[in-house]
Amino acid sequence: MRSRNEARPLVIGICGGSGSGKTYLLHLLKEKLGPQACLLSQDHYYKPLREQEKDLNGVPNFDRPGSIDQERFTRDLDLLREGKSIRLKEYTFNNPALQPRSLLLEAAGIIIVEGLFVFYFTGIRERLDLKVFVEAGEAASLERRLKRDQLERAYTETMVRYQWENHVKPAYENYLLPFREQADLIVSNRNDSRPDLQALLNLICINSK
């Protein structure tokens, strides 16, 4: 946690591995905060498929910091912090069945920045007032990823399991886990429990004063 300029909005960074339940936590949080918060997702800053680095088997690896347009991500966060609105093109994870939408993000008193690398990117991390790390067991995370990627991203189970072993797990160990202990709050989001939303709301309330 760091001190902030009271004229600026409160910026909350939410980081967690794939399938950790970040989206579920964000849905609950946005439901509670309503229009006083806006959500800036790292997902919309993936570079085009042609620019993605491939592994030794020729498979694009989206689970590395270089897959993200970090400069544009940081610039848009600064615009929101300055009270300006931004417009984004929705990222559809290269699913040909989905038509990308144009998204308008309005400035708000609370900015929630979420994604795999929001703690790893120095420029993003330095702009965070609060850092929240979301975690779940590996079995639960993989199960969620399998369901999501087959349903929403047109991936086969074989593709999902390949990415999990070769891209997702190494990325978690190298780019996320080292920053876990720097978080102001660690949220457990397992299958058998509801994430501790109240603890996060209390932390936001304290730091918004």
Domain assignment present for residue 5? The answer is: no
What tokens appear for 132 in the block?
């929240």
What's the pLDDT band for 5 if we cut at 50, 70, 90?
low
Whole-number percent of the chain with pLDDT over 90: 67
Taking a C-beta distance cutoff of 8 angstroms, is the pair 200, 114 a contact?
Answer: no
At 66, is the pLDDT very low, low, confident or very high (cuts 50, 70, 90)? very high
| 136 exposure class (CB count in 10 Å sphere: 0-12, 13-18, 19+) | buried
Segment 107-118 shows an average pLDDT of 96
| Gap between the Cα atoms of 2 and 129, Å rounded | 6
Query: Does residue 1 lie in a domain region?
Result: no
Q: Evaluate if residue 76 carries a pLDDT over 90.
A: yes
Residue 100 has a pLDDT of 81
Neighbouring residues of 13: CB distance < 8 A, sequence distance ≥ 6: 113, 114, 118, 119, 124, 125, 128, 130, 131, 132
Beta-carbon contacts of residue 48 (< 8 Å; ≥ 6 apart): none
pLDDT band of residue 193 (cuts 50, 70, 90) is low
Q: What is the count of structural domains for the chain?
A: 1
Residue of 43, 63, 61, 37 lying closest to 51 (CA atoms): 61
Percent of the chain with pLDDT over 70: 93
Q: Which domain holds residue 141?
A: 10-208
- Domain of residue 67, CATH code: 3.40.50.300
pLDDT band, residue 54 (cuts 50/70/90) = very high
pLDDT at 38: 95
Task: Give the mean pLDDT of 147-174.
Answer: 91
Q: What is the pLDDT of residue 191?
A: 62
pLDDT of residue 88: 93
Residue 2 lies in a domain: no
* pLDDT of the residue at 125: 97
What's the whole-number average pLDDT of the chain?
90
Tell me if 3 is assigned to some domain. Answer: no
- Indicate the SS3 state at residue 67: helix
